[in-house]
Structure formats: C-alpha cells, structure tokens
Amino acid sequence: MASRYDELLAAGTRVVAIDVDSPGQHAAMVDKLELPFPYLSDPDRTGAITAYDLADPNDARGIAIPALVLLDPSGEERFRFVSRDFAERLPEDDVVEAAKRLGLSATTQEPIEVGPLEPGERAMPLDGMPFYFRGGRFSALAMGLRHGHHDDSIKEDSKAFVDEMDRFFEAAQALRARKAGN
Amino acid sequence: MAAPDFTLTDQAGVPWTLSEHLDTAVLLVFLRGDW
C-alpha cells in the first residue's frame, strides 16, 4: 500500500496500518521499509481488529485477517476488502479508485516519528528480502507448471503470485539501492 | 460516526485516535502481524 500512498493522499485519504505486533516491532518495520504512514498496535485485538470483525478465528496466535476498510469523513464504510488467506493480494487499484470516487480534496499526513527499534525474532533483514521473494517466485511458478493442468484457477493464481513476487523483488532491490546511496 | 472509534499505540508509542483523523477519509490497512 506504500506504493500507492501519494495517490491516496491526493484523493483525500490518509492511511494507517494495524496489526497485533508491538510498537517496537512496528518501529523496526517502518525503519526497514521506510513506511510513510503510522503503524498501530492492537496486541489483544480488542482495540480495532475485533470491532471491525477482522479477528482470524482459525489462528491461535490471535492475528488479524488482512483487509482494507475505507472510511469517509462521516465514518461510513465506503469500501471493504477481506482476504481469503494471508497470501491474497490486497486490491490496491480498487481501493485507490474507491478513494477517488469520494471526491475529497487532497490531504496531508504528518511525518511519522519512530520509537526504539525492537524487531521481532523472525523479522527478516532487508538484504534477505530479495532472495525470499525469488524463492516465492519459483515455488509459485513450479506449482503452476506442475498442477496448472488440473484447473485454470491454479494457473491464474500461480501467475498472479509470480507477478507479485517480481514486483516485491524489484521494490526491495530499489529500497536497498536507495538506502545504500544515503 | 458509524464506524467503531478506537485509540491504539503507534510505532513511536504515541496514542492514535481514529476520530481525530476523520476530517478526511481514512484507509485502515489490517495486516496479519506476528512478523
């Protein structure tokens, strides 16, 4: 969603990310990925995740279902997308279009402050991310090649994954290059 | 407002309240977490 941030602000929409992780983990993520918007902690899911009916009942760790919820200034929901699983791509084009349809003036969001960095135990260093996305790419490609003949949806999912992994790979490489130049 | 209001802590440890930012539209991006 960070890649569409400028378009969302131009359409009068601010962005905030929410999950169950701690402020220190979020600080590390914001620092690593240079995220431009606030990242909020809802560790026991009682603040927003359950209120928006997005607690994943099938996950014992108590995580949220990835989702997008667009609120207009009166607090009405104007767009909602709830993913089927952790791997589903969030429909960025659709939510940007929904934001534009609100017809609001461009807005701004204050530059965010970052607290002490406390990355989670499994947090991946930025330098490892391109290889991770390459691995994801070839796994998805192999599944499509082996099993695509069973069902067109497998072929389509495989292709969508490969495309997404390619985009993430390029974004991670661009971020590494930018940080190396700083 | 129709949507549930909430206050949560941001990446700097500062409280962030939805209703204070709804002078324009707000996109809530819920993520899986446990990274």
Give ipTM to 2 decimals.
0.95
Q: Is the predicted pLDDT of residue A7 greater than 80, yes or no?
A: yes
Q: Which residue of A has its CA nearest to B35?
A: A123
Asked if the Cβ–Cβ distance from A49 to B30 is below 8 Å, we say yes
Q: Is the predicted pLDDT of residue B1 greater than 70, yes or no?
A: no
Q: Is the predicted pLDDT of residue B34 greater than 80, yes or no?
A: no
Asked if the Cβ–Cβ distance from A48 to B8 is below 8 Å, we say yes
Closest approach of B17 to chain A, Cα-based (Å)? 10
Asked if the Cβ–Cβ distance from B32 to A120 is below 8 Å, we say no
Residue A167: what pLDDT? Answer: 93
Q: Is the predicted pLDDT of residue A5 greater than 70, yes or no?
A: yes
Q: How are strands ordered across the β-sheet holding A67-71?
A: A77-82, A67-71, B25-30, A13-19, A39-41, B7-9, B15-17
Residue A95 with chain B: CB contacts under 8 Å: 27
Task: Count residue pairs from A and B with Cβ separation < 8 A.
Answer: 168
Q: What is the pLDDT of residues A30-82, one digit of tens each?
A: 999 999 999 999 999 999 999 999 988 888 777 788 999 999 999 999 999 99
Mean pLDDT of B6-23: 96
What pTM was estimated for this model as a whole? 0.90
Asked if the Cβ–Cβ distance from A64 to B33 is below 8 Å, we say yes
Confidence grade of residue B33 (pLDDT, cut at 50, 70, 90) = confident
Q: What is the pLDDT of residues A102-139, one digit of tens each?
A: 999 999 998 889 999 999 888 899 999 999 999 999 99
Asked if the Cβ–Cβ distance from A112 to B13 is below 8 Å, we say no
Closest approach of B18 to chain A, Cα-based (Å)? 9
Confidence grade of residue A90 (pLDDT, cut at 50, 70, 90) = confident
Closest approach of B30 to chain A, Cα-based (Å)? 5
Confidence grade of residue A2 (pLDDT, cut at 50, 70, 90) = confident
Q: Is the predicted pLDDT of residue B35 greater than 70, yes or no?
A: no
Asked if the Cβ–Cβ distance from A26 to B11 is below 8 Å, we say yes
